[in-house]
Amino acid sequence: MDFSDILASSIHDIKNSLGSILNTLDALINNPDNQLADSQQVSLLQHETQRANSTLIQLLNLYKLGNAQLTARVTKQHLGDFFEDVIADNQALCRALALDLTYVCDAQTTGYFDADLIHGLLNSAIGNAGRYARTKIQLSAAKTQNYLVIRLEDDGVGFPESLLQWFTSQQQPEQIMVSTGGSSDPARTHLGLYFAARVAELHHTPDGRKGYIQLRNDYSLPGGCFELWLP
């Protein structure tokens, strides 16, 4: 048994557990006779469980990245349809956090990307935005300069200026990791950003264009805006 088998089988077990926690919580929330749970606490549990799941997928993908086994299988996607999938995946969580999760894009917008990878990446990003948003999170897509730009915005206080400055100074995804230093706080290790940058980079075209990510504030909502530029 090699390590990837061990990893796969452990992940299978953990996912079974997370699945049962999530479904039990869902049943608790939807049961009108339930007197046990403080809904706020249940939501928190749900949120954290989903975060654990996203992190697990990210871990597996990072392992594959390390072994050069992760590639993007690009197919043509209908953005409206894709966003609806992503929203269905995160609806329960956002409802629990009393956040409005919506998307904006032209009915005909299409793009080329690996739907599984980008879906996973947006799940993590939504999980993250959920901690900062006040009332809403918004997904959008637009074609700009021959790129498809997918944006994830919230109406929170936005990314701290120091993070934006630091991020702008990073040229390569590798540097995002290097500059995380010895910090062990997950919110500060930028592992999520590193992963997002690597996944974006896996999307490239024969003419040499590569995907990348950008952070900014105050795009169409007042809070943070995570941008994914895909060729």
Partner 1 sequence: MADEEYLNKKYLIVDDFSDVRSAIRSILRSLEVTQVDQARDGNDAIAQMTSRRYDVVLCDYNLGPGKDGQQVLEEARHNLLLGVDSIFIMITAENTRDMVMSAVEYAPDSYLSKPFTKDILKRRLDKLFERKADLRKVNKALMAKDYSAAIAELDDLIARNPKNLPDLLKLKSEVCLTATRYDDAIVIFEQVLAEHETSWARWGMGKALYWKRNHAQAMEMFKQLIVNDPNFVAAYDWLAKTQAELKQFEEAEQTLHAAVKISPRALKRQQQLGDLALSNGHPEQAETAFTKAVTLAKHSVLNHPSLFAGLARSKSSNSKHIEALKIIGEITKVFPGQPEAVFYKATATAAVKQNQGDTAAAADAMQNAEKAIAQCGETTRSKLGLEMAKTYVQIGEQEKATLLLQHAIANNHDDEEFLMELVQVCREANFEYDAETAIREIQQRVVKTNNTGVYLIKQGKFDEAIKLLNEAAEEMPGNKTINLNAAKAMIIRMEKQGASMDDILTVRRYVDRVQALALQDWRLHEVTSRLKNMTPTN
**Residues 97-126 contacting partner 1, CB under 8 A:** 112, 114, 116, 120
Identify which range of 16-24, 35-43, 128-136, 188-196 contacts partner 1 by CB under 8 A.
16-24
Least Å distance, CB 141 to partner 1, is 15
Q: Which stretch binds partner 1 (CB under 8 A): 8-16, 136-144, 163-171, 185-193?
A: 8-16
- Site for partner 1 (CB under 8 A): which residue of 22, 104, 142, 149? 22
- Asked if residue 45 lies in contact with residue 25, where contact means CB atoms within 8 angstroms, the answer is yes
43 binds partner 1 (CB under 8 A): no
C-alpha distance from residue 210 to each of 92, 109, 116, 183 (Å): 34, 20, 18, 29
Q: Which two tokens stand for residue 184?
A: 């062990």
We find the least distance from the C-beta atom of residue 115 to partner 1, in angstroms, to be 9
Quickly count: other Cβ atoms within 10 Å of residue 183's Cβ. Answer: 10
Cα gap 126→208, rounded to integer Å: 30
Complex with partner 1: residue 88 or 157, whichever CB lies closer:
88
Distance, in Å, from the CA atom of 188 to the CA atom of 133, rounded to the nearest integer, reads 18
CB atoms within 10 A of CB 222: 15
User: Closest CB to partner 1 among 18 and 37?
Assistant: 18
Least Cα distance to 174 among 65, 50, 61 occurs for 65
Alpha-carbon distance 99 to 97, whole Å?
Answer: 5
3-state helix, strand, coil in the chain (%, to 5): 50, 20, 30
Least distance from partner 1 to the Cβ atom of residue 35, Å: 20
Applying CB under 8 A, among 48, 81, 106, 174 the residue interacting with partner 1 is 81
Binding site for partner 1 (CB under 8 A): 8-9, 11-12, 15-16, 18-20, 22-24, 26-27, 30, 53, 57, 60-61, 69, 71, 73-76, 78, 80-81, 84-85, 88-89, 91-92, 112, 114, 116, 120, 205-206
